C-alpha cells in the first residue's frame, strides 16, 4: 500500500491511511485523500489511480462498471432535460456495497488482517461474505436476533461465520467495533473510510459515462450517509483533477419513516438527532441515527443540496414506476425517484435540469415488498389463449 | 434496419433478416449473418457493428459488459492454467437473457411490431417483461398452469400481460408461435435468430477481456441450445474478422437429470430425442427436447467439443463451491463447474488448459435451492459475542 492520508473534513485532523483507523478522534468520519500518486498517468489499471493500493492487494469480483441509462418517460413526466438511472444492482452481489467492500478488503489485506467483519442483515452482509470468500479471509457477519431465515440464507451461502445476536442493535454495532479492535477483525461497517472511498467510483463512472459533463443533480438514497459522502468526494476529486468544471448538487433522499437528516436539514441544525420509532418499507436505509449524518448535512449545504423525504405510498409508487421502465430496484433504491418528484413539486429542482438517480440494489433482495403491489395475472385454459391474447 | 441474412447452417437456406422469420423451413434454427456492414470501423457505437440495426431501434437497459474473473482456487484444484467466470448475473434483470431480449426488441421495433411475447417461467420471462416495459411495448408472458406466486411476482412487477395457462407445456409453446404469427406478437422464445445473435456478444466480450487470446474451453449450461449457438457464432465472427487466431472448444454442460444433447452425443447420433421424465434442481436448463439440439451436436463435433452431464449432488456441490469463491449463481449456472470437473476426471480437458465458465444467472432467482444446502449460523447473546468471535 502506498502513502495516503485520511482526513476529517469536520475538524481538519489527518491520519496515516496505512493504519486501521476508522473514525476521527472528534467523533466524525474520515475521508481518503488520494490524488493518484506519483506517475498516476502511467499506471496499468484505473483502480491503481483510484486507490493507494499495490496491484496484488486488490481482490476483484468485477465490481463497478454499472450501466447509466436515460429514462425519457421520467424526464418528460418531471419536466427535466434528462433523468438517468445508475443501476448498481449490476454488481457481483447485486448492490453498490461491493465497491466499498472491495476497497476495504484491499485495505485489510494491505494491513495484514486475515479476518473481516460487518454488522448488517442485508446488502452489506452478502457483500462482505462474498468478498471474504473470494479473498480467502474469514468473514464474521453479525445480524440482529430477530432476523428470519429468508434473510440469513443469501448470506450463509457464501460460507461466513454468521452470528445472530440477541440484544439491542446499537449495542451490537458498538460492541462489534470494540471486539474487532481487540480480536484483530477489520470491521467494514457502513461509513468506514475505505467503504466511502469505494463509493467515489460511482461518481467517476457517472462523469465518464456522460462524457465528463456533470449532471445538475445526483439523487442518493441515504441511511448511514457513507455512500452519499463517497459520491461527493468522487465529484470533488474529478473537479480537482480538472476532468470536470463544476460540482453537481446533491439530493439526500430518505424515507419519511426514517428521516433524521431531513429533520435536521429542515430545522437548520448542524447535528442530527436520533429518529424516533423508525418504520419504512425501505429497510435498507432505515438507520435512525446515521453515523455520517452531521457530515452529510455540512456537505449538502456546501454544494447547495437538499434533503427530502418520501412517504411510504410514494416509495411503493416509485418502485412500480421504476419497474414499468425495466428497473426493478429494492424499495430503498426507488426512494430517489419519489424524492425527485417531491423536489420538483416544491420547486427545489428547476425545470429542464438533468438528474441521476442511484438505484442501489436489486428488487430480488427484498421480495416481501411484492405484497405492497397489486400484481396482476390471469389464469386461462389453452383453448382460451387466443381470446386472452387478443 | 440494414440489409442482413438469416442462414440455416444445416441446409444452407438463406432468408432476409428484415422479415419476421424465426426458423428454417427444414425445421432447424437460423443464424444471423452480419459482418458489420459498410463503414463498420467508423460507426459510433460497438453495437452498431454487432447488429444490423439503426441507432434509434435499440432500447438498452445497459445489458452486457459483464465481468470476467479468474478464480485461482478452481484452476489449482483442476490442474488448469486459468479458470474464469463470466458473470452474466450482472445484467439488468440478472441473467444472460437480457442480451438476446434487447436484440429481439430492436428487431421487433425495426419490423414495426408493437407487441412482444415469450413462453417462460424464469429468466426469459423477467427479461422480456422488463424490456417490453422499457420499450413501451406490450409484453405477453405465458407461463405454465402450475407456476406458483413466488415465480410470478418478479415478472408481474414489470407490468406485462401475464397469463398462466392450463394445459401441456409443449402445446403451449407451439400454440404461442402460431398465435403470435396470427395476432402480430413477436414471440422471442429461446432460440429465435436475434436472441441467438444477442448471445454472440458474450464471445465478443470474453475475447476483448482476454486481450483477444482465445481460451481453450468455453463451458456453457445448455437447455434449448440458443445461448451456446450464439457464443459459437460470436467466436466464428471474431475469427472471420481476423481479431482472433483460432476457435475455442466448447463444453455443452447439462444436468444429467435432463441431458438429451449428452445422450445423443454419446450415442454418436446426429439428432436428439426427447428426454424422458426430466428432473433436476437446475430448472433453468430443464428443456427435454431442445429446439437447437441437432445444431448444437453438429457444432460441438465441428470444433472438437464435448457434451457432458452433472449429477444433482455435483450441481449442488458446484453451487456451494462457486459461492465459496464469491459467485452465487442459480443452480443451472453452476452446472459448468460440475461438468468441467467431470471433463477433467475423464481426461477430456488437458492439464494446463484455460477455461471460461458461463454463469448464466443470479442465485437470488431460485431461492428454493437453499434447501439443498446445509447452511450454518449460530445464535448467541450479546455478552457471549467475544467468545463466539474468538
Spell out the domains of chain B, with CATH numbers in brackets: 68-94+193-372 (3.40.50.1100)
Does this model's pTM top 0.90? My answer is yes
- Give which of A89, A129, A358 is closest to B364, Cα–Cα: A89
- From the centroid of its chain, how far is CA A316? 20
- Give which of A85, A62, A89 is closest to A73, Cα–Cα: A85
Quick check: A82 and A131 in contact, CB under 8 A? no
Identify all chain A residues contacting B164, using CB atoms and an 8 Å cutoff: 377-380
Residues 371-390 in A contacting B (C-alpha not used; CB under 8 Å) = 373, 375-383, 385-386, 388-390
pLDDT at B390: 85
- Inter-axis angle of helices A149-156 and A123-135, nearest 10: 20
- Kindly report the nearest CA distance between residue A331 and chain B, in angstroms: 13
pLDDT at B40: 59
pLDDT one-digit tens code per residue, B277-289: 999 999 999 999 9
- From the centroid of its chain, how far is CA A66? 14
Query: What percentage of chain B carries pLDDT values higher than 70?
Result: 97
Q: Which chain A residue's Cα is nearest to B127? A: A326
- Kindly report the nearest CA distance between residue B317 and chain A, in angstroms: 12
pLDDT one-digit tens code per residue, B18-32: 999 999 999 999 999
H/E stretch holding A131? helix A123-135
| Cβ within 8 Å, pair A389-B157 | no
> B329 and chain A: CB distance < 8 Å anywhere?
no
Residues 157-216 in B contacting A (C-alpha not used; CB under 8 Å) = 157-159, 161-168, 171-172, 175-176, 179, 182-183, 185
Q: HEC profile for B272-335?
A: CCCCCCCCCCCHHHCCCCCCCHHHHHHHHHHCCCEEEEECHHHHHHHHHHHHCCCCCECHHHHH
* Model confidence at B190: pLDDT above 80: yes
Q: Which chain B residue's Cα is nearest to A155? A: B375
pLDDT at A170: 79
- Kindly report the nearest CA distance between residue B243 and chain A, in angstroms: 23
* Model confidence at B41: pLDDT above 60: no
pLDDT at A16: 98
How far apart CA B310 and CA B281 sit, in angstroms, is 11
Q: Which chain B residue's Cα is nearest to A151? A: B367
Question: If you average pLDDT over residues B109-129, what whole number do you get?
Answer: 95
How far apart CA B155 and CA A328 sit, in angstroms, is 10
pLDDT block averages, 10 residues each, chain A of length 390: 96 97 97 81 63 93 98 98 98 98 98 96 94 98 88 96 89 90 95 97 97 98 97 96 96 98 98 96 94 97 98 98 98 98 98 98 94 94 91
Q: Which of B146, B326, B367, B388 to mutate to test the interface with A (most CBs of A within 10 A)?
A: B326
Quick check: A366 and A331 in contact, CB under 8 A? yes
Identify all chain A residues contacting B140, using CB atoms and an 8 Å cutoff: 389
How far apart CA A25 and CA A15 sit, in angstroms, is 10
Identify all chain A residues contacting B91, using CB atoms and an 8 Å cutoff: 90
Nearest to B389 among A73, A185, A320 (CB): A185
Question: If you average pLDDT over residues B38-52, what whole number do you get?
Answer: 67
pLDDT at A168: 81
Amino acid at each position: 500500500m502506498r502513502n495516503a492520508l485520511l482526513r476529517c473534513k469536520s475538524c481538519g485532523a489527518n491520519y496515516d491511511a496505512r493504519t486501521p483507523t476508522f473514525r476521527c478522534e472528534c467523533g466524525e468520519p474520515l475521508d481518503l485523500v488520494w490524488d493518484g500518486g506519483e506517475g498516476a498517468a502511467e499506471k496499468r489499471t484505473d483502480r491503481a489511480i483510484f486507490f493507494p493500493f499495490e496491484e496484488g492487494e486488490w481482490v476483484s469480483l468485477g465490481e463497478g462498471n454499472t450501466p447509466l441509462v436515460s429514462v425519457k418517460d421520467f424526464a418528460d413526466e418531471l419536466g427535466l432535460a434528462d433523468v438517468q438511472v445508475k443501476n448498481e444492482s449490476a454488481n457481483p452481489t447485486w448492490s453498490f456495497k461491493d465497491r466499498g467492500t472491495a476497497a476495504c478488503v484491499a485495505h485489510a489485506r494491505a494491513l495484514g488482517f486475515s479476518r473481516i467483519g460487518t454488522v448488517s442483515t442485508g446488502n452489506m452482509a452478502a457483500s462482505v461474505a462474498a468478498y471474504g470468500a473470494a479473498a480467502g479471509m474469514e468473514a464474521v457477519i453479525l445480524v440482529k436476533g430477530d432476523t428470519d431465515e429468508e434473510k440469513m440464507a443469501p448470506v450463509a451461502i457464501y460460507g461466513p461465520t454468521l452470528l445472530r445476536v440477541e440484544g439491542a442493535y446499537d449495542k451490537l454495532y458498538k460492541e462489534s467495533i470494540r471486539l474487532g479492535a481487540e480480536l484483530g477483525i477489520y470491521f467494514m461497517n457502513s461509513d468506514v473510510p475505505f467503504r466511502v472511498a469505494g463509493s467515489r467510483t460511482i461518481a467517476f463512472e457517472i462523469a465518464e459515462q456522460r462524457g465528463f459533463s456533470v449532471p445538475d443533480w445526483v439523487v442518493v438514497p441515504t441511511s448511514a450517509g457513507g455512500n452519499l459522502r463517497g459520491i461527493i468526494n468522487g465529484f470533488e476529486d474529478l473537479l480537482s483533477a480538472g476532468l470536470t468544471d463544476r460540482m453537481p448538487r446533491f439530493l439526500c433522499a430518505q424515507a419519511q419513516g426514517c428521516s433524521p437528516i431531513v429533520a435536521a436539514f429542515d430545522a437548520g441544525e448542524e447535528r442530527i438527532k436520533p429518529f424516533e420509532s423508525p418504520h419504512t418499507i425501505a429497510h435498507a436505509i432505515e438507520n435512525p441515527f446515521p453515523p455520517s449524518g452531521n457530515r452529510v448535512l455540512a456537505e449538502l449545504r456546501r454544494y447547495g443540496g437538499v434533503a427530502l423525504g418520501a412517504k411510504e405510498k410514494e416509495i411503493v409508487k416509485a418502485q412500480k414506476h421504476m419497474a414499468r421502465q425495466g428497473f426493478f430496484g429494492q424499495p430503498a433504491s426507488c426512494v430517489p425517484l419519489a424524492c425527485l418528484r417531491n423536489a420538483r413539486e416544491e420547486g427545489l429542482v428547476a425545470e429542464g435540469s438533468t438528474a441521476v438517480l442511484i438505484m442501489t440494489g436489486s428488487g430480488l433482495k427484498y421480495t416481501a415488498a411484492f405484497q405492497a403491489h397489486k400484481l396482476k395475472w390471469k389464469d386461462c385454459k389453452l383453448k382460451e389463449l387466443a381470446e386472452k391474447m387478443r
